[in-house]
């Protein structure tokens, strides 16, 4: 979030009760863009990424790369060219690191090229909810010594003997932890094995990009990834896969407004865990190739919706499906066992008239349908912020959501797209 950075903050003003109707195309996967941009630091040669999402998180990562000495062309477009001939240091800009959890992905490339890195505490949504334990565990196995600085604030990491191949068992199947291990292992000469690895599509996409750069990787998409590291890595080109979380988010926004929406650009296989839950809730939808069609529906509550690592229902969608449950007939139990606090932001739905009971930091019971009423809301994190926007679209009356920048971290051209689909929204700057 930009809070505390001196930037103006934007309030989204929503007049509820208007259906979303039309067609949109999602851009590249936010969760792929950040590790792929970090991977560009592994080579001095030119890398080209296309279908890059035009979102705030990508802009922050681009600024981090530029601050480290990388030349980045195409900023603000969907095609970025990155070349890192010479790095200027091992300390990413701390103010930017404090805004982006994905900044931790810079550790592997900086350790490989500089032998050290000094990293301020990464920010983003509810930083305390996700620790760096998986990342530090993997790096320590590869010969990295780490400590907190004298003020117990920054992370100071050093690889005095270079990065070493290792056999690593991750205590949790962390996506960014797996990506950190991969970005380090490809430069460590010898065979590394990452077990209990995350299997999400964006991890697979990072493996594909690293392979194009010259890395040897086996087992992408499984819980055991083997890396033959130490090859010279060269520049590469890659088109990012479409963002299936964004596609699912727009689908839910259409359903709760009684709308009809064609969402293009996301892989049908990536959408399957989301569509499976939508179909259980009797949402009328069709999926083929890179197209998701959502038709006007009368959704119903279902006994339990539980998040889990890939290929289960993604935690990034739990806030959106919770809003859908407020408009579904019957009771739903929403269980996000993976992360604490994500559901807390949705307590604001109670003030809109939703009938929900927060059992604990991981579980919420929702009874529907209820008519929501517009009010002022706080977008405390990226995904719950988009969920609250969906709720305001379905509500009677006018709502105000601030700061919009929180949601724009992961949803590009958000206001323009809402307007194009028939929503009545305006923005105010403070």
Q: Are 157 and 78 in contact (CB under 8 A)?
A: no
Cα dihedral 277, 419, 403, 337 in deg (nearest 10)? 0
Q: In residues, how long is the chain?
A: 430
Neighbouring-strand partners of residue 164: none
Nearest to 39, CA basis, from 90, 100, 109:
109
Q: Are 263 and 289 in contact (CB under 8 A)?
A: no
Does the annotation mark 125 as catalytic?
Answer: yes
- Phi/psi of residue 378, nearest 5 degrees: -115, 115
Q: Are 64 and 100 in contact (CB under 8 A)?
A: yes
Beta-sheet strands, E only, within 137-207: 145-148, 155-158, 167-169, 190-195
Residue 74: count other Cβ atoms within 10 Å of its Cβ.
Answer: 15
Structure tokens at 174: 């962390």
Structure tokens at 341: 């606090």
Q: Are 338 and 357 in contact (CB under 8 A)?
A: no
Instruction: Give the N- to C-terminal CA distance of the chain in Å, as an integer.
Output: 15
Using CA atoms, how far apart are residues 122 and 94, in angstroms rounded to an integer? 8
**Of the listed 125, 241, 336, 381, which one is catalytic?**
125
Nearest to 64, CA basis, from 103, 101, 111, 117:
103
Residues annotated as catalytic (active site), given as ranges: 125
């Amino acid at each position: 979030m930009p809070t505390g950075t001196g930037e103006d903050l934007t309030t989204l003003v929503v007049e509820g009760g208007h259906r979303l109707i039309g067609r949109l195309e999602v851009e590249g996967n936010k969760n792929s863009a950040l590790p792929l941009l970090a991977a560009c630091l592994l080579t001095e040669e030119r890398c080209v990424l296309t279908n890059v999402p035009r979102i705030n998180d990508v802009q922050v990562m681009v600024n981090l790369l530029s601050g480290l000495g990388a030349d980045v062309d195409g900023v603000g477009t969907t095609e970025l060219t990155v070349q890192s001939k010479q790095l200027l240091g091992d300390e990413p800009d701390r103010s930017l690191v404090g805004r982006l959890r994905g900044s931790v992905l810079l550790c592997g490339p900086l350790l490989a090229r500089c032998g050290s890195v000094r990293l301020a505490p990464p920010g983003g949504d509810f930083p305390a909810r996700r620790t760096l334990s998986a990342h530090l565990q993997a790096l320590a196995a590869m010969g990295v010594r780490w400590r907190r600085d004298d003020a117990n604030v920054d992370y100071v990491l050093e690889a005095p003997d270079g990065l070493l191949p290792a056999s690593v068992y991750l205590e949790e199947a962390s996506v960014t932890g797996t990506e950190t291990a991969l970005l380090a292992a490809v430069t460590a000469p010898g065979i590394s094995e990452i077990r209990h690895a995350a299997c999400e599509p964006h991890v697979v996409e990072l493996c594909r990009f690293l392979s194009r750069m010259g890395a040897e990787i086996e087992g992408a998409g499984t819980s055991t990834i083997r890396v033959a590291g130490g090859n010279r890595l060269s520049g590469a080109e890659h088109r990012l896969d479409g963002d299936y979380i964004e596609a699912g988010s727009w689908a839910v926004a259409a359903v709760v407004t009684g709308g009809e929406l064609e969402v293009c650009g996301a892989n049908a296989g990536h959408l399957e865990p989301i569509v499976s839950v939508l179909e259980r809730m009797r949402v009328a939808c069709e999926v083929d190739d890179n197209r998701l069609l959502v038709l006007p529906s009368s959704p119903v509550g279902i006994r339990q919706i539980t998040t889990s690592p890939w290929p289960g229902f993604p935690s990034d969608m739990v806030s959106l499906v919770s809003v859908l449950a407020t408009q579904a007939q019957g009771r739903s139990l929403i269980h996000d066992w993976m992360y604490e606090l994500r559901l807390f932001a949705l307590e604001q739905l109670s003030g809109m008239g939703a009938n929900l009971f927060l059992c604990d930091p991981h579980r919420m019971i929702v009874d529907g349908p209820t008519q929501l009423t517009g009010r002022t809301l706080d977008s405390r994190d990226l995904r719950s912020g988009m969920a609250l926007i969906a709720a305001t679209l379905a509500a009677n009356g006018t709502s105000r959501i601030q700061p919009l920048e929180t949601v724009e971290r992961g949803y590009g051209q958000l206001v323009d797209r809402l307007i194009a689909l028939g929503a009545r929204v305006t923005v105010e700057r403070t």
